[in-house]
Structure 1
């Protein structure tokens, strides 16, 4: 077994090749699409308004303060734009860098705790996992949270298993604090101390001994956490105090510090699921890495019986994370995504042996084959049979030709995957699985993104608005979504985002009446009800499964207001 100080030429080449593949796979399609709902346009809009207004401390969504999330991701997207100057690249850049950071962390942990080959296996196992790539190709907060937690775990594990290394420990604690001001859950990285205490008191092999006089160094870890949090918290509180006359800022502080953290965990108000919700997530969205479970479970058990702290600490932390997120009613698949890098790490020591097992190779081929067959059938059905499901999808997306380009894409990808299975077979099943996953992500980035962008991002609808809005006229937005204001790319008036739709409509009509010759309203179809003469309005088409209109004052029925029931439309009728 190689020591951590040794590296062959082949290992160095493999490392750089892995990073290049990661850059291509995760970066595929960047610059070819705009932000897609539900979260991406919201975050990109907050970042865009930061750049335009110069207010980087308090995120806005239109005219309202946005207090659902701390501003870390918005800062990074805005900073990326200041450097790159292109929003199509800037809004995805933080996720790409977060993904590469996670891969480097697990590689280095594998290298330090075992050897470079294990580090390569760990990073490769993470890169091939479906949820990891799928989420890091999106501009959500979760990839960034995953990176900060993984970086924190890196610092803690280096200290707790290869230490003492107090600088690594303090760095890890600081990253945990950065995770807190990203989404609030970064502090969960410190749960790594629980299995460490078990290992330390149980005299496990490989655990670092810190000495009785180091208590003050542990306390500095807490200081590092608080220092990272203070980077945002202190300026934010001072800024809110400077706006003491505006109750919106006091509400912002209360919401983001209490309601969106402890309140959301203790009394979840959305995404309700049962306690076992994460079982299928761990089994299916973590494919194909999850195919190794039958091989890794007995090996983990053997390592635990042998008191190997290198397995106990990451594996114990994964269990604690799953338990933590299984307690509240509100659950989403991305909540447990930070466990993926640690899962790849504790799987990596056994991959060299497992990849030679015939059962695992066959399982991998079945996985790629089933995925390929499903895509091929779906593509052929969309092209030739036109079943109701594919037809409805094409109509909802606004494809005038029935979505032929999309179905051709599915047919082509399905054929590629099945050809890989047929050509490489069991002997080269690992190459078939890796090649199939790479093909899927490249097709998604370079083929699907351009096809779906207009209907997914509202780019097409908002281009229609710009084309039809006379120069010098104003636009007011009613029942709007973040992607509408983001993609408009010109000033607009909104009447609140969280305000009830019927109130927005009433305020919009009143605003329009002040200058009926030059003011237009942009409205979601259900909100118009019987209060707008559609023969005098302009249909803008579909985007995100919604229909949009714009009209001037002559289309408005005087004295008519939409029924308040429109504010309680089923989510499926109005949301992506």
Structure 2
């Protein structure tokens, strides 16, 4: 099936679980409030203005949600379609740059990575950003096609990318363009005429700029944030999700599995052949430079999350596909290309199996009490362990050919598929706020607003239609709502509440959502 079956695990993960923090409940609630409030220019979250991101993803997800009775799966369809679009673009680009052999391999080497299997079907901004920026780069570098159509599509794609997540779309497009220009022979141009560059810039800027202008006119307090705070302002403030410069260097090799060795070898080949004038070598240099520029700049920038690098995963797949096809054609295949990731996955499979066995042995459980957390996943965990062990072992045995890479992709893909069917529904009882939200909705108290402490309010508002807010002022809520008062407090935050709040409240409910144990407080009679 050429790797297309790997879409099934993405569908399973999208279908069999609710919204999981930190991002999905927030994005789903923003999309829903567009319809609830009838406001499309100014976004809101739990009643507050949301100034952090542009609206395109929320608009699209909201349309899918509105006409599906707010189904989680339906609202994830835009991300699934964007992932599908990215892999189709990668296949077309591989065929143009390297030929049919690389085009056949790029599908499993893209969809089969740990990162894509984990993130490709989630309600996130990044899959859609990745699709639009990759479309822009693919069109910009299609030098044999008409300049006008390339300029129109690439400019509009960058514009829609910016309307999805902001100016970071222009950054990704700029990396691809600079890399393409550096990889061209001396004196050769990209094939886009001068006036068409003006169209590209205008189309790239116009969607996000027009939205920001009209949103600021509608809600003037947004102007400073949209035109300054989100960009230059962040240079003088503490960045969210800060991490050390080496964080991506530690994380990305794991998330690129099982293609990590191939990507590293392709980057090394691009360096070794940096003076080679052959088209295939220039194309490889273009991809390597694109990957390297993006990786380096995002490593220097303070904010660090693995999904920030999602737009270069198609580039990594192209590098891996070309390296695999070249090595097989040239008789330069090496067993370790398969055996290194196979050994890691085999170790993981054995570790999962041992954890399941240990959880059922009292003496082991006494020394490692946290193992009891795996007991609800007994059969599912056994299926995951067996899948990893069997297919990693097959990959090890057949590591003398690309067939071993096929088995590695199968190991990860089938593991994620089994997890989607059997682990996600069980884990959803803990990770999703649905159950506790419905319990809160069933309480007789109907306050004007429900403040929270140490708790994300969006999931409760989405599932229970209860008025959770991001404010943590419990005294104000007690005085306002009286015997109708409700509040959500994370257990570790409870001891930090003032003596007055503790004296005036009583625990009504308690539940676990993700890693947080949440107390629902009411007013004492």
The TM-score normalised by the length of structure 2 is 0.87
Out of 168, 173, 191, the position equivalent to 1:210 is 191
Show the counterpart of 1:6. none
Deviation at 1:100, TM superposition (A): 0.6
Q: Residue 538 of structure 1 aligns to a residue in which SS? A: strand
Note if contact 2:355-2:371 (Cα within 8 Å) is conserved in structure 1. no
Matched, 1:482 2:464: no
Gaps of 5+ in 1: 1-13, 243-248, 395-401, 556-576
For 1:556-567, what aligned pairs fall within 5 Å after superposition?
none
Residue matched to 1:508 = 477
Runs of 4+ in 1 over 6 A off after TM superposition: none
1:368 is aligned to 345
Of 223, 245, 269, the residue aligned with 2:202 is: 223
- 1:246 match: none
Match of 1:430 among 381, 402, 405: 405
2:511 is paired with a residue whose SS is: strand
Aligned-residue CA RMSD (Å): 2.8
Q: Which residue of 2 aligns with 1:410?
A: 381
Distance 1:265 1:201 in 2: 37
Equivalent residue for 1:234? Answer: 210
- Tell me which residue corresponds to 1:57: 41
Instruction: Please state if 1:381 is matched with 2:358.
Output: yes
Which of 171, 174, 178 is 2:156 aligned to?
174
User: Mean alpha-carbon deviation: is it higher for 255-264 or for 58-67?
Assistant: 255-264
Structure-1 separation of matches of 2:504 and 2:123: 36
**More displaced, 382-391 or 415-424?**
382-391
CA–CA separation in structure 2 for the residues paired with 1:294 and 1:137: 27
**Which runs of 5 or more structure 2 residues have no equivalent in the other structure?**
none
| Rounded Cα–Cα distance in structure 2 between residues aligned with 1:186 and 1:107 | 22
> 2: CA distance between counterparts of 1:422 and 1:290?
18
Quote the Cα distance in structure 1 between the aligned partners of 2:461 and 2:368: 29
Kept in 2: contact 1:70–1:181 (CA 8 A):
yes
How far off its partner does 1:70 sit? 1.4
Q: Secondary structure at the match of 2:221?
A: helix
Structure 1 residue 99: deviation in Å?
A: 0.9
1:287 CA drift (Å): 1.3
The corresponding residue for 1:323 is 296
1:330–1:441 Cα change, 3 Å: same
After TM superposition, list the pairs within 5 Å mapping 1:13-162 onto structure 2: 14=1, 17-19=2-4, 21-159=5-143, 162=144
1:34 match: secondary structure:
coil
- Counterpart for residue 447 of structure 1: 422
Q: TM-score, normalised on structure 1?
A: 0.80
For residues 157-187 of structure 1, the C-alpha deviation after alignment (integer angstroms, 9 at most, x for no partner) is 213xx34533123311221122222222000
Shift of 1:131: 1.2
Describe the SS at the equivalent of 1:29: helix
Is this contact kept in 2: 1:288–1:367, CA < 8 A?
Answer: no
Q: CA deviation at 1:259?
A: 1.6
- Match in the other structure for 2:165: 183
Shift of 1:390: 6.9
Q: State the distance in 1 between where 2:446 and 2:241 align.
A: 41
